[in-house]
Amino acid sequence: MNRIKTDLLIIGAGSGGLSVAAGASQMGADVVLLEGHKMGGDCLNFGCVPSKALIATGKAAYGQRHSAEYGVANAAGEVDYAAAKDHVADVIAQIAPVDSQERFEGFGVNVIREYGRFISEDEVQAGDTVIKARRIVIATGSSPLVPPITGLDTTPYETNETLFNLREKPEHLLIIGGGPIGMEMAQAHIRMGCKVTVIEGDKALSKDDPELAAIVLQTLKDEGIEIAEGAQAAEIRGDVGAIEVEAKDGRVFKGSHLLVAVGRKANTDRLDLEKAGIEPIKNGIKVDDSLRTTNRKVYAIGDVAGGMQFTHVAGYHGGVVIRSLMFALPAKAKTAHIPWATYTDPELSQVGLTEAQAKEKHSDKLEVVRFHYNHNDRAIAERKTKGLIKVMVVKGRPVGASIVGYQAGELINLWALALANNMKMSQIASMVAPYPTIGEINKRAAGAYFSPRLFESDLVKTVVRLVQRFIP
């Protein structure tokens, strides 16, 4: 048995673990990094990267079939499904070197390609190596949640971990789950020539503003996706080519392939947390505001920390714990400024409070300003006029923003910046945006906040009249 002592041990080489490893090693700490599967974790290999690559294929095909409105003849937009998966693999391959073992070894990180499990409060065994560390960071991420549906264990199905290896185009893809992953893959596949049915036990896109989510859902329906809400899957049967999903209310959905996209579960099963005195919770590991577990020497970040499950949150968590690990300075993780986006077309994004949340928290102090895409000149030129932005404002400061439309995932960045720095609407309004850009929508939303104050105020009008009368 090999034995190693180190300043910092990181379990998991996904977004969060790699962020901590890169920062800590370059600052001079002795770092050991464990990864029993693929470097880059879920995001690079099974999640964000491959899904966005497949969405790009769908957009390209859809664009060919709908180009006449730009003066270009429509084309068939036929998709070679296997070639599309080659495109996905190529995108992963181009990004992979950034997350590679070789790159991190170049930083001085000792990378061990084994899963780790605790054997004491400060020791982890990985294969035939025992690592004793002053501080440990658990960054093991999450995996697809497979629900206990009757028949699922004997019926072939895909998850996000297997879908991108599928080479044969599904004739009719059934998707259980109407969240972001389900809806993104539904639209990508309908655009690639598959029939698609989404089976959702509650409401699709239920975590987003319902007014904005409705715009996305209607678009998906218009493209031919069947969305069955309130359809709790009760039984699954069949084989590839002939799969049936029966809902509790008796509805039966038939298709050729099945994708299960009902959520994620934290990867804690291999860790033997109890041997380190680490308390688990239902959706991960119990942590305090500084992301420390019940073992003061151990931190948990990213999906396994039991909060928001996004790659950018894992990276943010990495930055928070680096402050504590490297400099022994207090640092707390916050969530109010964390944005998210669903990469359907149109895109859907959110940061801070939704309108409903803001009304509940701030009551009569809340103002909601709105601006529609169809008043933006660039959106008109691009024929991307479907969508709007809503900004929730309290005492002159934004507390949330919801956007649906073209490049909503890009537009939300400004509002994430504003919430992170407690900015005022006046600061947004003072920004000069180049014309014509989609980004002007953000400035116009800020302008919509001040317009009534300037153009509907009797006081302002009185002052202007006095100035015009008495100033030469």
Q: For 366-407, how does the pLDDT look when each residue is reduced to its tens digit (9 = 90+)?
A: 999 999 999 999 999 999 999 999 999 999 999 999 999 999
Q: How far is CA 123 from the centre of its chain?
A: 33
- 119-148 tens-digit pLDDT: 999 999 999 999 999 999 999 999 999 999
Q: Please check whether residue 8 is in contact with residue 30, taking contact to mean a CB–CB distance below 8 angstroms.
A: yes
Which two tokens mark 234? 């009760």
Domain membership of residue 66 (yes or no) is no
**179 is known to lie in a ligand binding site:** yes
**324 is known to lie in a ligand binding site:** no
Residue 280 shares a structural domain with residue 227:
no
Domain membership of residue 413 (yes or no) is yes
Residue 373 shares a structural domain with residue 300:
no
Residue 8 shares a structural domain with residue 120:
yes
**354 is known to lie in a ligand binding site:** no
**77 is known to lie in a ligand binding site:** no
Domain membership of residue 428 (yes or no) is yes
Residue labelled with tokens 């909503």: 408
Instruction: Output the CA torsion 52→53→55→56 (10° steps).
Output: 120
Give the pLDDT of residue 456.
66
**387 is known to lie in a ligand binding site:** no
Give the pLDDT band (50/70/90) at residue 1: confident
H helices within 33-136, ranges in order?
Answer: 41-45, 48-65, 81-95, 101-106
The predicted model scores a pTM of: 0.94
Q: What is the CATH number of the domain that holds 366?
A: 3.30.390.30
**184 is known to lie in a ligand binding site:** yes
Give the pLDDT of residue 155.
97
Q: How far is CA 437 from the centre of its chain?
A: 25
Residue 10 shares a structural domain with residue 130:
yes
**140 is known to lie in a ligand binding site:** yes
Residue labelled with tokens 């996209």: 261
H helices within 251-389, ranges in order?
Answer: 311-327, 355-362, 377-382
Number of domains in the chain: 3
**180 is known to lie in a ligand binding site:** yes
3-state secondary structure of 232: coil
**238 is known to lie in a ligand binding site:** no
Domain membership of residue 362 (yes or no) is yes
Instruction: Output the CA torsion 81→82→88→92 (10° steps).
Output: 170
**147 is known to lie in a ligand binding site:** no
Buried b (16+ CB within 10 A) or exposed e, 47-61: bbbbbebbbbbbeeb
Give the pLDDT of residue 326.
92
**177 is known to lie in a ligand binding site:** yes
Residue 311 shares a structural domain with residue 357:
no
The residue range of the domain holding 188 is 152-262
Domain membership of residue 159 (yes or no) is yes
**141 is known to lie in a ligand binding site:** yes
Q: Which of 400, 445, 402, 446 is nearest to 419 (CA)?
A: 400
**342 is known to lie in a ligand binding site:** no
